[in-house]
């Protein structure tokens, strides 16, 4: 797989959902796999790292919905109205998290390549526009599913301490090779923002190297 690993292979994982409000956001172009970074207040400071480009610059697929109406099994409206913070979610066959393949969250065949940079529609400027809108809307709530991380040092992007947040905001199944240990079911990443009045945007991301034909117990790719 060509997207860059952002954690050690044996790192402890905690999958869950972070709920909070947007303070800021910007592109972080460093390295071969740049991210759009979002500063979130959720009973403390958190950084959300969203992949917008892979190492080869061509294999990120996305589905963006500007009027997402499904509550999902997480019940987005209830969570948005609840206490800010990160809540762990069980993964696996009886898991609580999102699953691109099994939850009918959106039409998988409608995911398309969106460039990270350029003059037209890019994933970076799409996210930038939504983050600016969320900053201007005092009632907007961001909900992010992914892996939590924390370190003792200062966050290199936004400067708060300790460094903590959520990454792997993308599909986490159908991987082969060195990324096969990422595979699971009911543990995919996604980003939602609920604005005043309940209008919700949703962003789902996967890599072209991730199969959407996966085993329902392990998330491993099935033979074609």
More confident residue, 93 or 9: 93
Looking at the DSSP bridge assignments, the partners of residue 99 are none
Report the share of the chain in percent with pLDDT over 90. 72
The whole-number pLDDT of residue 32 equals 62
Q: What is the mean pLDDT of residues 60-65?
A: 94
Q: How many domains does the chain have?
A: 1
Residue 114: inside a domain, yes or no? Answer: yes
- Kindly state whether residue 10 falls inside one of the protein's structural domains: no
- Give the residue-averaged pLDDT of 67-71: 98
Q: What's the pLDDT tens digit per position in 122-133?
A: 888 999 999 999
CA 139 to chain centre: 21
Percent of residues, the chain, with pLDDT higher than 70: 88
Of 13-27, 59-73, 104-118, 155-169, the one with minimum mean pLDDT is 104-118
**Is residue 40 a part of any domain in this protein?**
yes
Residue-number span of the structural domain to which 162 is assigned? 15-207
Q: Are 206 and 171 in contact (CB under 8 A)?
A: yes
Under the banding of pLDDT at 50, 70 and 90, the label for residue 31 is low
Determine the pLDDT at residue 6: 44
Domain assignment present for residue 26? The answer is yes
Banded model confidence at residue 55, pLDDT cuts 50, 70, 90 = low
Residues 6+ apart with CB under 8 A from 85: 18, 19, 20, 42, 43, 44
| Strand bridging mode 60-65 / 200-207 | antiparallel
Structure tokens at 45: 């400071």
> Residue 5 falls within a domain, yes or no?
no
Q: Is the residue at 31 inside a domain?
A: yes
């Amino acid at each position: 797989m060509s997207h860059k690993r952002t954690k050690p292979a044996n790192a402890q994982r905690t999958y869950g959902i972070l709920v909070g409000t947007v303070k800021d956001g910007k592109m972080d172009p460093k390295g071969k796999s740049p991210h759009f970074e979002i500063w979130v207040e959720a009973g403390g400071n958190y950084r959300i790292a969203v992949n917008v480009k892979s190492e080869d610059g061509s294999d990120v697929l996305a589905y963006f919905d500007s009027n997402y109406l499904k509550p999902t099994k997480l019940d987005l409206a209830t969570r948005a109205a609840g206490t800010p913070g990160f809540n762990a979610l069980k993964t696996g066959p009886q898991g609580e998290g999102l699953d691109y393949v099994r939850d009918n969250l959106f039409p998988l065949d409608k995911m398309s390549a969106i460039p990270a940079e350029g003059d037209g529609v890019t994933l970076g400027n799409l996210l930038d526009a939504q983050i600016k809108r969320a900053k201007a809307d005092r009632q907007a709530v961001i909900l992010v599913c992914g892996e939590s991380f924390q370190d003792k040092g200062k966050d290199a992007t936004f400067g708060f301490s300790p460094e903590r947040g959520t990454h792997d905001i993308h599909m986490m199944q159908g991987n082969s090779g060195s990324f096969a240990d990422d595979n699971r079911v009911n543990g995919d990443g996604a980003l939602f923002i609920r604005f005043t009045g309940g209008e919700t945007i949703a962003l789902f991301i996967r890599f072209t190297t991730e199969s959407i034909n996966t085993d329902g117990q392990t998330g491993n790719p099935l033979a074609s």
